[in-house]
C-alpha cells in the first residue's frame, strides 16, 4: 500500500512529523453525499475547499507515481550504501590482502624518502697521498670556498634556479652520517694548493653539511660542479640534488638529479634519490620507474625493493580512497534526489 510507504518516508527524513488531527478532507459517502472526514491520509490544507477535493484522483495518481519512483531510488541507494565500506576498512583490507602492502609491512627496512645519500668520489680519486697528515698542517685553515675562488657566473651551476641564487640561511640539521676520507684541515690545505679541484670542493661541501652549515655547503658544491670535468660532474650534481631534496625544493631537486643521471646513467644512487623525489611529488608511476632503474643496476639492493613495495602500496591505497570518496559523492547525490522527491510527495498531499 502506498500509504504505508508514505508514512515511512516522512518518518525517515523528518523525524517527527506532527500529524494534526484538526485537518480533514472530503469524501463521497455511499449515499453520494460529500462530507468532511477526519484522519485521512489525504489531508487537505484547506478542508473547506471542494475544488481541491475534486483533484484528489489526480493527486492519488501523482502520489503513487512518486512513491514508485522513490521506492526504486531507495533500493538503488541501499545497494550503493551496502557496497561502501569505511576508510579504515578499505585500508585494513588492502594491508592484509595486497602483496605489495604485505611485503612493505613485513620488511625490517626503515623506509625514509629523505634517506641521506652522498658521494665523496673517493673510489675514483686517491688524493690522500698528495696531502700532508693533518697533524703536519700548521694552524687551522678556515675552509671558506667563497674566499678560495670567485664564481661570478656559471651556466653549469643552474643560475635559472632561483633557490640557488638566494641566500641559504635556513636551519640545516647536522649530517653526522657523512664521513670523509680527509679532515677539514687537509681539504683546506689542498684547496690552498689547488684552487680548482672539484674533488676537494665536493668534500668541503660535504664537510659543511655534516656541520649543518648549508650556505657554506652550497658555496662549495657550486664550485665543485663548475670545475668538475664532464666525466665527474655527476658526483657534485647528485650531492646538490640531495641537498635540494632535503631542503624540500623537490622540483628543483628533480632537475639536478635528472642532470646527474644524464651524466652517469649507470650509477644507481641518482635513480634511487629521483624515485624518492617523484614519490614526494605524488608521481608514483615515475617513482616506480626510477626504483626499477636503480634495481636494474643493483639487483641486491633490498632497501630499494622495499621502498618500491611501499610506494606501490601507498598509491593503491590513495586510489582506493579516491574511489571511496567518489561513491560517497554519488550516494549523497542520490540521497538528495530522494529527499527532494519525498518533499514533493509531502507537499502534494496538502
Ligand atoms: C500532478 O503532477 C503534475 C506533474 O507533476 C502536476 O502538474 C499536477 O499539478 C499534479 N497534480 C496535483 C493535484 O497535485
Ligand atoms: C636570510 O637572511 C637575510 C638577512 O639576514 C634575510 O633578509 C633573508 O630573508 C633570509 N632568508 C631566508 C630564506 O631566511
Ligand atoms: C687539481 O685538482 C683536480 C681535481 O682533483 C685535478 O684533476 C688537477 O690535476 C689538480 N691540479 C693540480 C695542478 O694539481
Ligand atoms: C600510472 O600507471 C597506471 C598503470 O600503468 C595507469 O593506469 C595510470 O593512468 C598511470 N597514472 C598516471 C598519472 O600516469
Query: Is the CB of 59 within 6 Å of ligand 1?
Result: yes
What angle is formed at CA 107 by the lines to CA 101 and CA 111, rounded to 5 degrees?
85
The grid cell for 25 is 478532507
User: Does 45 or 217 have the greater pLDDT score?
Assistant: 217
What is the C-alpha to C-alpha distance for residues 320 and 93, in angstroms, rounded to an integer? 11
Contacts 24+ apart (CB under 8 A), 280-289: 280/113, 280/250, 281/250, 281/251, 281/254, 284/311, 284/312, 284/314, 284/315, 287/311, 288/312
Question: For residues 163 and 244, is the Cβ–Cβ distance under 8 A?
Answer: yes
b/e sequence 268-305, b meaning 16+ C-beta within 10 Å:
bbbbbbbbbbbbbeeebebbbebbebbbebeeebeebb
Query: Is the CB of 169 within 6 Å of ligand 2?
Result: yes
pLDDT at 131 over 70: yes
State which of 162, 168, 169 you would mutate to test the pocket of ligand 2, scoring each by most atoms of that ligand within 8 A of its C-beta.
169
Residue 14, pLDDT score: 35
State which of 25, 52, 348 you would mutate to test the pocket of ligand 1, scoring each by most atoms of that ligand within 8 A of its C-beta.
348
Distance 90 CA to ligand 4 centre (A): 21
Which residue has the CA at smallest separation from atom 7 of ligand 2? 167
The grid cell for 58 is 489526480
In the DSSP assignment, the letter for residue 157 is: G
Distance 303 CA to ligand 4 centre (A): 24
Beta-sheet pairing, 34-37 with 25-28? antiparallel
Which protein residues are within 6 Å of ligand 3, measured from CB?
194, 196-199
Contacts 24+ apart (CB under 8 A), 324-328: 324/84, 324/85, 324/87, 324/90, 327/80, 327/83, 327/84, 328/84
What is the C-alpha to C-alpha distance for residues 344 and 225, in angstroms, rounded to an integer? 73
* Percentage of residues of the chain with pLDDT beyond 90: 45
Q: What's the average model confidence in pLDDT over 140-167?
A: 84
Helices assigned H by DSSP within 22-159: 50-54, 56-83, 87-97, 99-106, 145-148
Question: For residues 309 and 315, is the Cβ–Cβ distance under 8 A?
Answer: no
What would the pLDDT profile of 291-339 be if each residue is shown by its tens digit?
999 999 999 999 999 999 999 999 999 998 888 888 778 777 777 877 7
Q: Which atom of ligand 3 is nearest to the CA of 199?
A: 5
What is the C-alpha to C-alpha distance for residues 332 and 342, in angstroms, rounded to an integer? 15
What would the pLDDT profile of 69-125 be if each residue is shown by its tens digit?
878 877 877 777 777 777 788 888 888 999 999 998 888 887 899 999 999 988 777
Amino acid at each position: 500500500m502506498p500509504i504505508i510507504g508514505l508514512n515511512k518516508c516522512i518518518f525517515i527524513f523528518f523525524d517527527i512529523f506532527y500529524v494534526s488531527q484538526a485537518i480533514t478532507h472530503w469524501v463521497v459517502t455511499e449515499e453520494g453525499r460529500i462530507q468532511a472526514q477526519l484522519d485521512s491520509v489525504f489531508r487537505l490544507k484547506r478542508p473547506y475547499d471542494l475544488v481541491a477535493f475534486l483533484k484528489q484522483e489526480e493527486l492519488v495518481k501523482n502520489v503513487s507515481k512518486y512513491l514508485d519512483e522513490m521506492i526504486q531510488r531507495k533500493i538503488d541507494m541501499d545497494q550503493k550504501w551496502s557496497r561502501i565500506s569505511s576508510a579504515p576498512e578499505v585500508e585494513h583490507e588492502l594491508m592484509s590482502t595486497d602483496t605489495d602492502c604485505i611485503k612493505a609491512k613485513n620488511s625490517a627496512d626503515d623506509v625514509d624518502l629523505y634517506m641521506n645519500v652522498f658521494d665523496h668520489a673517493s673510489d675514483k680519486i686517491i688524493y690522500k697521498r698528495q696531502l700532508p697528515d693533518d697533524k703536519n698542517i700548521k694552524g687551522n685553515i678556515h675552509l671558506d670556498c667563497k674566499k678560495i675562488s670567485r664564481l661570478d657566473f656559471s651556466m653549469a651551476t643552474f643560475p635559472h634556479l632561483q633557490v640557488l641564487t638566494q641566500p641559504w640561511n635556513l636551519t640545516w640539521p647536522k649530517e653526522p652520517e657523512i664521513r670523509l676520507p680527509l679532515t677539514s684541515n687537509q681539504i683546506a690545505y689542498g684547496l690552498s694548493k689547488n684552487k680548482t679541484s672539484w674533488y676537494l670542493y665536493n668534500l668541503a661541501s660535504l664537510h659543511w653539511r655534516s656541520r649543518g652549515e648549508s650556505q657554506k655547503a652550497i658555496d662549495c658544491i657550486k664550485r665543485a660542479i663548475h670545475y668538475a670535468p664532464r666525466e665527474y660532474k655527476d658526483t657534485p650534481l647528485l650531492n646538490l640534488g640531495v641537498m635540494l631534496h632535503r631542503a624540500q625544493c623537490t622540483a628543483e631537486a628533480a632537475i639536478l638529479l635528472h642532470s646527474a643521471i644524464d651524466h652517469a646513467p649507470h650509477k644507481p644512487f641518482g635513480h634511487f634519490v629521483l624515485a624518492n623525489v617523484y614519490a614526494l611529488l605524488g608521481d608514483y608511476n615515475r617513482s616506480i620507474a626510477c626504483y626499477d632503474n636503480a634495481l636494474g643496476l643493483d639487483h641486491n639492493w633490498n632497501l630499494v625493493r622495499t621502498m618500491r613495495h611501499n610506494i606501490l602500496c601507498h598509491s593503491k591505497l590513495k586510489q582506493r580512497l579516491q574511489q571511496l570518496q567518489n561513491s560517497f559523492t554519488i550516494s549523497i547525490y542520490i540521497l538528495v534526489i530522494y529527499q527532494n522527491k519525498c518533499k514533493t510527495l509531502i507537499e502534494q498531499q496538502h
